[in-house]
Amino acid sequence: MSLADFSNPFLALNYEPALESLGNDYFDQVVAAEFPEHILRFRNDALLPILKLDPQAVTDEHLIEAFGKFQGREPLLALRYHGYQFGQYNPYLGDGRGFLYGQIRGTDGELYDFGTKGSGTTPYSRSADGRLTLKGGVREVLAAEALHQMGVRTSRCLSLIETGEALWRGDEPSPTRSSVMIRFSRSHIRFGTFERLYYIERPDLIQKLLDHVIEYYYPAIWGKTDQYSLFYAELVKRVAELTAQWMAAGFCHGVLNTDNMSITGESFDYGPYAFIPSYDPLFTAAYFDYYRRYCYGRQPSVCKLNLELLQEPLQAVISTEDMEVGLSTFDEHYYVEYSKLMLQKLGFSQLPVIEGEELLQTTIQLLQETQVGYHDFFSKLTHYFSSQWREDANLILNEIDILPWDSSSELLENWRNLYHKYLTKLPQAKTANVANQLQQSNPKIALLRPVIESVWEPIIQEDNWQPFYSLLQVYEVQ
């Protein structure tokens, strides 16, 4: 690296060779693709302070040099992993269109990965081209920022660069435009990373990787005599809470294979995701999920199953009994988190357990049986909320026709009376807290498919990116 390279703040960062120090059993060194063009379409300035970087001092060219041309960084590591895909074990996976660019310690003390997507072929690309469509990049940027604003533990995108290649894809009009993206996450180690080591019969490598994971990502338990059982129990808790966050957000990941499950319990790798239009447990995001394996309502059971499948490789280090004890807490962790988040969406930061459960179940019944828009219901609740609702239940959401048909009016009446009941139990002075909680817990715009298309069409028709940037401003965390 030349002295001139250090004028780029990304190349001057103090990268930690954490994963690299494990040795070549976990990755392959690769070379990035060279692209004909580099047009920066998105930069996430909100992430730069975490890296001790001043957004004013970071130019677009700095991002292009580092994350489009990949100057000055080596080695670039394509991680090895396997995974259960739609219930079938696949030993032919691995980073096929991305690599680990580097690892950085944030100002919060956590270790972060810069991981690429669409950066070219690797030993795991098979017959694929290792590229990312521009629409795929746009969709991931939007998903990550929308979920982050809603409090979901998620990876985020640092940059998206259009790369000037024509790509052919069967699931969208071709040729389509290409891009390369940098994903900023806590780790790219997956459940499938451990599953591969079990498949190749290397318990020693499982132990080594597990020690690494605990030391770097679960430091509070590192060095304790029971650190392994504590790790698994904590992972169960994190995954249960993450799943609850998705469900409350009305988010369907789409492809919950074990290679898409992070060992840190963070949401990442957004492909055919979708936000539910209405409360439908069978809503399915991926068009190729013919049997609805990963539909919205099955996400909790699938994530719990993936944790159970992870026990197979981890039994080289952790006793089955300890893991079963840890897994047995999943349902409780999930329900506690889901109840809390849903009640917050209704404006209540805290309710007694029995009362909270009654309101939650009545709300879900209303949403499911009426098929009122899931996000629209909470949006209108937020917009029209009034302190006068304490005085008369009939005033609650009476300004609008909230339900799609009149036959559901009895359900709405029951819900109104219950909502009014718990409003009146609050001190008058705390009514404003309900309004504030509603504002904090419900996004102004839900990232439904028509919303995504409304920002994508101007891009492909006129190369107009302003609707995309305007939507991102809505998702900025205040």
Secondary structure class of 161 (helix, strand, coil): strand
d(CA 333, CA 335): 6
The response to whether 117 counts as a known ligand-binding position is: yes
Residues 6+ apart with CB under 8 A from 153: 238, 241, 242, 245, 265, 266, 267
Instruction: From the candidates 259, 392, 401, 406, give the one annotated as an active-site residue.
Output: 259
CA–CA dist 142, 270 (Å, integer)? 10
The residue to which tokens 């940037």 are assigned: 469
Place of tokens 């318990």: 203
- Sorted by sequence, the CB contacts under 8 Å of residue 317 that are 6+ apart come out as 203, 206, 207, 210, 228
User: Is 449 annotated in some ligand binding site?
Assistant: no
User: Of 194, 192, 188, which Cα lies nearest the Cα of 88?
Assistant: 192
130 is annotated as contributing to ligand binding: yes
CA dist list (Å): 240 to 36, 243, 354: 43, 5, 21
Ligand-binding site membership of 269 (annotated): yes
Angle, vertex CA 407, rays to CA 402 and CA 411, nearest 5: 65
CA dihedral sign, ordered 413, 415, 420, 421: positive
3-state secondary structure of 467: helix
Among the listed residues 372, 299, 361, the one whose alpha carbon sits nearest the alpha carbon of residue 330: 299
Phi, psi of 91 (to 5 degrees): -90, 10
**Residue 97 in marked binding region:** yes
Give catalytic status of residue 171 as yes or no: no
Distance CA 258, CA 81 (A): 10
* 126 is an annotated ligand-binding site residue: no
Length of the chain: 478
190 assigned ligand-binding residue: yes
- Write out the H or E segment, with its range, that includes residue 114: strand 111-117
> According to the annotation, is 135 in a ligand binding site?
no
Using a 10 angstrom Cβ sphere, with 0-12 exposed, 13-18 middle and 19 or more buried, the burial of residue 202 is: middle
Active site residues: 259
Binding residue numbers for Mg(2+): 260, 269
Please give the annotated binding residues for ATP, written as ranges: 94, 96-97, 117, 129-130, 183, 190, 269
Q: Which residues are documented as binding site?
A: 94, 96-97, 117, 129-130, 183, 190, 260, 269
